[in-house]
Amino acid sequence: MIDYPAARAVAMVVQTGSFEKAARALNVTPSAVSQRVRQLEERLGAVLIERGAPCTATEKGAWLCRHLEHVGLLESELMAHLPGIADPAQPPQRVTLNIATNADSLGTWFLAALPAFAREADCLFAIAVDDQDHTAEWLQRGRVLAAVTSLAKPVQGCRVVSLGALRYHATASPDYVRRHFPAGVTAEALAGAPALTFNQKDRLQHAWARRTCGLDVAFPTHWLPSTQGFVEACLAGMGWGLNPAMLVREHLASGRLVEPVAGAPLDVPLFWQVNRLAADRLAGLTRNVIATAKRALVPCP
């Protein structure tokens, strides 16, 4: 049988990042938390927590934490039907749901899908941010229960539904375009024009350049891991970059930003993948995500 007090201690250390904070959340002493974690690790013969600042879960620890999420969802559903089963001496435990999304979705449309479900399910969210081409890896590793991803093929053990496409416009300030693209956007001009790149996983600018010029282009870039920072940097004339249409619509209409190539958006299809074991209990969240995406995204090609 699973030692649930010990498993909850592991999950709380991972969630809060320290044994001391976990002890306060569980209303026990730090030594009690440490003892529970150590005994469970000895019993399993595996390290569950990487000690540090903050403490993080190992691969096996992450699987244990996700199991507790499933258990927490089941307990919440049970207590909704049988409230008398709850121990009045124990403080109510809110389930923390781990989900992943890309930064541009989080900075534009995705957050609007969460509040109603958080109130309805009385849960908390832990949102991991990664490139849309890599959020599926969080599902594969068992670190999240659901994710917004560009992967159309279902991750093993997951259900997938198409959300639509997040439309991007290549944008820059008018002065920047005059300086770097006086004769239009060519491979030679791009090779000398500073771009904006979110991080090493971001391939949007390269995809747009390849489609525009018909070949791969190496260009200098500023590294800027901020969705809103991309817009501000474009407005300031630092570089050109792919920005979500909903963030630059007014700037394009006012002329503060322009498209180096007019009418050449890049649409990135997005999908919602959710762990099958949690899919039924996350049905309300899935409905909210689909409805919000329908209002914000464009239809997939």
- The CATH class, in words, for 94-301 is alpha beta
The tens digit of pLDDT for each residue in 228-282 reads 999 999 999 999 999 999 999 999 999 999 999 999 999 999 999 999 988 998 9
User: What is the DSSP secondary structure assignment for residue 141, as one 8-state letter?
Assistant: T
Task: Name the more confident of 159 and 300.
Answer: 159
H or E stretch covering 274: strand 266-275
Please say whether the dihedral angle defined by the alpha carbons of residues 21, 23, 85 and 89, taken in this order, is positive or negative: negative
Model confidence at 96, pLDDT cuts 50, 70, 90, reads confident
Q: What is the mean pLDDT of the chain?
A: 92
In this predicted structure, the answer to whether residue 50 has a pLDDT above a threshold of 70 is yes
Instruction: Give dist(CA 114, CA 124) in Å, integer.
Output: 10
Q: What is the pLDDT of residues 13-38, one digit of tens each?
A: 998 999 999 999 889 999 999 999 99
pLDDT at residue number 35? 93
| pLDDT, tens digit, 9 for 90 and up, residues 161-214 | 999 999 999 999 999 999 999 999 999 999 999 999 999 999 999 999 999 999
Which CATH number is associated with domain 1-87? 1.10.10.10
pLDDT band (50, 70, 90) for residue 220: very high
So what's the pLDDT on residue 68?
A: 84
pLDDT of residue 84: 64
Alpha helices, H only, the chain? 4-16, 19-26, 30-44, 59-81, 103-106, 115-121, 135-140, 174-180, 187-190, 204-213, 227-235, 245-254, 276-279, 283-296
Mean pLDDT within 80-93: 62
Residue ranges per structural domain of the chain: 1-87, 94-301
